[in-house]
Structure formats: C-alpha cells, structure tokens
Structure 1
Amino acid sequence: MNSENIKNLNFLLESEYIAIDSFESLINHANDINIKTKLQNIQRTHKQHTLQISTKIQDLGGRPSGSIGIQGVVAETISNIKHLGTTDNISYLKEALQGEFMAIKTINELITNNSAFSNSTILNNIIKDHQNNIDSLNNIINTSK
C-alpha cells in the first residue's frame, strides 16, 4: 500500500517540479514588474508544495523524486514546440492555468481513489493553493488583454 502511495505522491511531486520550471519561463518573459511578482508568488507556492510532498513521501518510507521525470520532459518538449516563435504571453498564461486545473483534478482523483489520502490536510491545502493560483492567473490574463 505504501509503495503505491509513494508512487502517486512522486507523480504529484514531479508535477510540481514541472510547474516550477514553467513559471520560471513565464517570469523570465514577463515585462511588467507587478505581473512578475504575481508569477513569483505562484511559483513560490509550487516550491512549498515540493517540500510538503517530499516530507510526506519520506514519512511513508519512500524516496522523493528530485526532478521532473519523463512526464515532465515530454510536457516541456510539447510546450516548447507549441510555442515556437510565439511572443504572446497570454497563451503561456492560459497553459499555466490549465496546469493548475489539471493539478486539482489529479489530486481530487488521488483522494477519491485512495482512502489513505481522504483526510490529507496537505493535499487539501495544496488544492486550495491551486485554486488561489487559478484566481491569480485569471486576474493576470484579464488585466493583460
């Protein structure tokens, strides 16, 4: 049971690493200091998630992943190809928004399908953080149009 939980948590952890890398790119492309600050705040929440999830994995006797994994490499490659030659930051922001929605969906599925996580304060707090990130991203997108 723990090995499956560790595997699922490492998947979430790798997703958080992907988000950190994605927001690094967004931060580097942001010209407006206010937008840059908002993006840095979102990135900071993802960094906090990596620490929380890593600790949970260790508590279960596992070894936390230290990178984006193969799923991250594939996702980054697809994103880079999709945005080749694009200077429109809105498309990147919308992609980040989709990532936040996917994270919530993935965590909810994990909670629903695994009784060990049904009352997980860490996962429920991470969902709340993702919802706040969605609000922030929508705000950025709406003010950037």
Structure 2
Amino acid sequence: MRKRVVDELNQFLEGNYMAIHAYENYINHCQDAELKHTLHQFQQEHKQHAQMTADRIQSLGGIPIDHLGLKGTIIEWIKNLTEKTNRDTHIVKDALAGEARGIEVSQKILKNDLDTESKQLVEKILNHDQQHVNVLKKLLQQMDRV
C-alpha cells in the first residue's frame, strides 16, 4: 500500500512541477505587471505544494521525484502558444486550462488508495488550485471587457 501511495503522490508532484515550469514561461512572456505578479504568486504556491508533497512522500519512506518526466514536453507546446499576439490573454487562457486539467487529473488520484493524511494534503492543495482557476476566470472576464 505504501508504495502505491508514494507512486500516486509522485504523479501528483510531477503535476506541480509542470505547473511551476509553465508559470515560469508565462511570467517570462507576460507584459502586464499586475498579471505577472499574480502568476508569480501562483507559481510560488505550486512550489510550496511541491515541497509539501515531497515531504509527505519522504515521511512515507519514499523518494520524491525531482523532475518533470515525459510530460515536460507539454511545456514546449505552451511556449509556442505564448508567442501569439494578445499574449497576456493567451497566457491566462493557457494557465486556466492547465489548472483545470491539473485538478481533473489530481482528482483521479483521490479516488485511489491514498491514506487519510495524504488525501487531506492533496485535497488542501486542490482547493488552492481551484482558487487559481477562479482568479484566472475573473481575469479573463476583465480582459474580454477591455
């Protein structure tokens, strides 16, 4: 059971690493200072979540991953999207889609055999991710009005 929990938490951790790197790209391509600040805050939260998840994996006697894995190639795809005109709007749309996909994939982890403490940790992190989704939706609505 512990190995399965560690494997599932490592999958979750990989998703957080993907988010960290995606936000790095968004921040580097963003033009609006306020948006850049918001994206930086989200990135910092994903870094905290990654550390919390890695700590949990270690407390279970596992070894946390420290890389993106094969899924990291998605980052290259994201880089191409941010080259478009109306860059900030595309960044918000991409970030929103990424957060939503991350939540969806992570919720599947919750359906598996996580122990109570690990499940609570993942749920807490997903609540923060849902807050990111809500903020990004509001930003997109504001951008559409302009």
Shorter-chain TM-score bucket reads 0.7 to 0.9
| TM-score for both structures, normalised by structure 1 | 0.87
Q: Tell me, which stretches of 5 or more residues in structure 2 are unaligned?
A: none
CA shift digits 1:69-116 (9 cap, x unpaired): 1111x21233335x2742333223212111111222222211122252
Change (3 A) 1:80 1:134: same
Tell me the number of residue pairs that the alignment of Structure 1 and Structure 2 aligns: 143
Contact 2:31 2:88 in 1 (8 A): no
Identity percentage of aligned residues? 27
CA distance in 2, matches of 1:91, 1:84: 6
**Runs of at least 5 residues in structure 1 that lack an aligned partner in the other structure:** none
Cα distance, 1:10–1:125 mapped onto 2, change above 3 Å? same
Point out the more displaced range, 126-135 or 90-99.
90-99
Name the residue aligned to 2:84. Answer: 86
Runs of 4+ in 1 over 4 A off after TM superposition: none
Contact 1:6 1:60 in 2 (8 A): yes
**Aligned partner letter, 2:112:** N
The answer as to whether partners of 2:17 and 2:68 remain within 8 angstroms in 1 is yes
**RMSD (Å) for aligned C-alpha atoms:** 2.0
Q: TM-score, normalization: structure 2?
A: 0.86
Q: Does residue 77 in structure 1 map to residue 76 in structure 2?
A: yes
Q: 1:119 to 1:43 in 2, by over 3 A?
A: closer
Give the residue type in structure 2 aligned to 1:43: Q
